[in-house]
A and B are shown apart, each in its own frame.
Chain A
C-alpha cells in the first residue's frame, strides 16, 4: 500500500461537516455592516473633535480677542465645489474597489450618475435641514463653510453618499446608501442588535421602513437612527453632543423625520 492510498483511506467516511455556508455569508455581511458603522462613528468622532477644539480654544484667553474662536475657523469658511471621488456610482463601477470586501450588491441597481446624485442630495439637504431644526446654524464639517450642503461619495464597495455638519452644541451626519437588504432582513438584524443588554436601542416599523434607533444621550453616546426603506435606500442619521453628555443638537424625532424624508433617496 502506498502513501497516497493510505492517505485516501484515512480520509474516507468523514463526519458531517459543521460548516454552514449561509452562516459564513451572513457573518461576513454583519462584519461589513459593523465596519461601516465603525467608520461612521470614527467620522463623527473626528467631526466632534473639530467642533470641540475651537470650542475649547475659545475658552482660552488670547492676546487679541478673548473668548472668540481663533481666526482660522472663520478663515476656513470657503466652500469648495462638490467633487465625485469615484467617477461613476453605478454597480458595475464597483469592480475597481474589489479585493477588500465581499461585493455588496444593491437590491435595486443605482443608475443615477454620481455628480447628479451629489447635486440633488445637496439641494435636498440644504432645503431640509433649516426646516428640520429651525434657527440652527449648519456649517459643513468638511471645510467649515455654511450651507449649501457638501455631499460626497462614500469610499468602499457600497454605493452611497454622506454629508456631515457642525451646529450649535454638536455635530450630525447623514448617509444615504443603496441597501443590500430588504426591510424584513434588516428587521431581523435590528432585533438581534436590540436584544443585547444595555444597548439603548429599539427597532420600529414606520411607513414600510424598518428603523433601528440607538439613543443614549446621558451616557455621552448620542443618537443613531438607521432606516431601510422599501424603495431600496438605507439612511443613517446620527448626532452627537459637544461636549459629550450634553443635549444633542437634534432630537430622536428629528432624525426619524430626516431618514423618512422621501426626497433623500438614491432612486429619484
Chain B
C-alpha cells in the first residue's frame, strides 16, 4: 500500500478521536485543531518509522500530550485579560454538564488534566498513562488522586459529577 495512502487512512480513522482528546485537554476547539495538526504533521514527517510501530496510537497520543504540555509552556499562550466576551453557551442540561466538566478540567494544572483525560476518556491503564506522559506509574496515581480531589472540591454534594 502506498505510504501516503496508509497515512491518509490512519488520519481518517483517528482524526476525530485525537481532536476530542485535544479538546478535553485545552477546552477550545480551535486550539484542539492546532494541537491535532501539530501531531499529524510530526506523524507525517516520521511516518515511515511510525507506521512500523506496534502501538501507533500510543505514539500519536504521546505526541499529543507533548504538544499540549509544550503549548502550555509558551508565554503567549498563558491566560490574559481581554475586553471581548466569550461566546454564550446554549442553555440546557447537556450543555450545563459540558461546561461543568470543562470548567473543572480548566481549573487543573496541565499535567493533572492530561492524567484525567488519559485515564477516564482514553481508558488507559496507569501503566499506559505513565508511558504517554513519560513519567512513573506512581506519579500517575498521585496526580490522578490529587486531580480528583481538586474536582471534588469544586463540586457540591449532589451535583451530577459528585459520584
Contacts and interface: CB of A to CB of B under 8 A. Distances in A.
A binds B: yes
Contact of A9 (B4, B44, B49, B97): B97
Given A4-B123, A102-B48, A17 B101 contact: no
B49 A99 contact: yes
B40 A21 contact: yes
B88 interface: no
A9 B20 CA distance: 11
Contacts of B8: 21
Interface of B: 2-4, 7-8, 11-12, 15-16, 19-20, 23-24, 29-30, 33, 36-37, 40-41, 44-49, 94, 97-98, 100-102, 116-117, 120-121, 123, 148, 151, 160-161, 163
A14 B120 contact: no
A1 B15 contact: no
B97 A3 contact: no
B40 A99 contact: no
Interface stretch (A22-30, A68-76, A106-114): A22-30
27 contacts: A2-B163, A3-B151, A6-B97, A6-B98, A6-B101, A7-B121, A10-B23, A10-B24, A10-B101, A10-B102, A11-B121, A14-B16, A18-B33, A19-B15, A19-B40, A21-B8, A24-B41, A25-B4, A25-B44, A27-B41, A95-B48, A98-B49, A99-B48, A102-B44, A103-B3, A103-B4, A105-B4
B19 A102 contact: no
Interface in A80-129: 95, 98-103, 105
Interface of B: prevailing SS: helix
Contact of A7 (B3, B47, B101): B101
A15 interface: yes
A64 interface: no
A4 B163 CA distance: 12
Interface residues of A, number: 29
A180 to B, nearest CB: 10
B20 A11 contact: yes
A8 interface: yes
B62 to A, nearest CB: 16
Given A9-B97, A21-B11, A99 B46 contact: yes
Contacts of A27: 41
A28 B98 CA distance: 36
A98 B37 CA distance: 21
Q: What 4 pairs across the A-B complex have the smallest Cβ distances?
A: A98-B48, A11-B20, A6-B101, A1-B160
A27 B151 CA distance: 41
Of B30, B37, B49, most buried by chain A (CB within 10 Å of CB) is B37
A7 B117 contact: yes
B162 to A, nearest CB: 9
Given A6-B100, A9-B97, A105 B163 contact: no
Contacts of B45: 28, 100-102
Nearest to A18: B33
B40 A14 contact: no
